[in-house]
Copies of this chain bind each other. A is one copy, B any other.
């Protein structure tokens, strides 16, 4: 490898990243447990080394330059790798064993968890993970589950929550189905088609109405709260369904029947009991889930 190239000081890179993320040298110093002058000098030295002005030293605070903004992406990627190192090292240094229960919808469980759990196995091979794939909201306080992925912000003050990437729901239908019934071009056409409901019909009707589609219960011959079931119904051509965009897009036989439809933003939260702060194995799983599913 061309080592001379990455010859700038990597700690200075962390200083810049923290400063950019936290918004000021002082805030970054607090976050890193260093002092503001140190950060000031490190950032200045990094700019010197890279030959690029990263911050505009205008009036009140630091402002990222255009160059700084473009580079920040790579610094973030560096920081994420550093986080993964720390997480994995923690798992390997302290033999993490025991049982952790994760509650989430079967959709999340099926489409997003396997990849993450494989990573987890590399980090903590002796951990026993139980997936509670259910739409019932598990009660974390009664320890029915240790960690939950929920689609609404939890209210309970005893719970620790972290916002995850939003899921966007798009319309999908099988190409064969659309071949048969015709591809709709106006909301009026769509009202003649069949839909696969993903919640109780009343809420679905409101959701669709807010996007200009006036449907009735007659449009929803099939309803299921299970995304996997919904997917299969849509694939078999039983109607139009709302699916997470990356799930739907991974099936070539599905297409978006009405691209003008404004996607549905579904927010997600990673939730755990506050005890997670002190429990290594739960913390490890929580951090790994957060790492892969975190917003942005």
Q: Interface on A for B, CB 8 Å cutoff?
A: 1-11, 13-14, 18, 21, 31-33, 50-52, 67, 70-71, 74-75, 77-79, 81-90, 92-94, 122-123, 252-253, 287
CA distance A209 to B212 in the complex (A): 61
Interchain residue pairs with CB less than 8 A apart (28): A2-B83, A3-B31, A5-B83, A5-B87, A6-B85, A7-B33, A8-B85, A10-B13, A10-B14, A50-B85, A50-B93, A51-B90, A51-B93, A52-B89, A52-B92, A67-B89, A67-B92, A70-B122, A71-B85, A71-B88, A71-B92, A74-B81, A74-B82, A74-B84, A77-B81, A81-B81, A252-B252, A252-B253
CA distance A67 to B89 in the complex (A): 8
Output the residue of A1, A75, A82, A85 with the most chain B CB within 10 A.
A85
Contact B1 A79 (CB under 8 A): yes
Copies in the complex: 2
CA distance A86 to B78 in the complex (A): 12
Contact A4 B33 (CB under 8 A): yes
Query: Which of these, B4, B7, B11, B82, contacts A78 with CB under 8 Å?
Result: B82
